[in-house]
């Protein structure tokens, strides 16, 4: 299980090793956050304009999904952190080669209702 030290979650070395083996690219940011009574893990990479999300339950690290932030002229990612007070992420990135920005990103987990998905499928 992730360990809390002075209010900060620490991911066990085994889970971190799994992440590094799955993603040979350079990780520029890793943020831990509360997720489904487990630990959520968000990753960003130096050369990819988006994030990957995992859920860690103390023994298994499960891929949950990804987020494309829609950044035009993306040049690089520089970091990611989670703010528990506001339930938001802060993401540092570069666009147009030299413009450095920090973005605050809120999020909400949602899903389609079963009957909504059926309506979408019958439309095609």
**In the chain, where are the structural domains located?**
3-122
Q: State the pLDDT confidence band at 2, using cuts at 50, 70 and 90.
A: very low
**pTM of structure:** 0.74
Q: What pLDDT is attached to residue 12?
A: 64
Give me the mean pLDDT over the 95-106 stretch: 92
**Distance in angstroms (rounded) separating the CA atoms of residues 9 and 55:** 13
As a whole number of angstroms, the distance between CA 65 and CA 67 comes to 7
29-36 average pLDDT score: 90
Residue pair 51/44 in contact by the 8 Å Cβ criterion:
yes
> Which residues touch 81 (CB under 8 Å, ≥6 apart)?
29, 31, 89, 90
> How many contiguous H segments (helices) and E segments (strands) does the chain have?
2, 9
Q: Are 83 and 75 in contact (CB under 8 A)?
A: no
């Amino acid at each position: 299980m992730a360990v809390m030290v002075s209010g900060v979650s620490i991911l066990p070395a085994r889970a971190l090793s799994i992440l590094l083996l799955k993603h040979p690219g350079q990780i520029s940011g890793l943020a831990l956050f509360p997720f489904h009574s487990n630990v959520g893990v968000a990753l960003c990479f130096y050369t990819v304009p988006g994030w990957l999300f995992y859920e860690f339950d103390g023994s298994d690290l499960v891929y949950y999904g990804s987020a494309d932030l829609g950044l035009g002229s993306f040049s690089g990612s520089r970091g990611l952190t989670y703010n528990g007070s506001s339930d938001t992420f802060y993401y540092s990135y570069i666009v147009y080669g030299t413009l450095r920005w920090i973005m605050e990103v809120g999020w909400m987990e949602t899903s389609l209702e079963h009957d909504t998905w059926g309506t979408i499928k019958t439309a095609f």
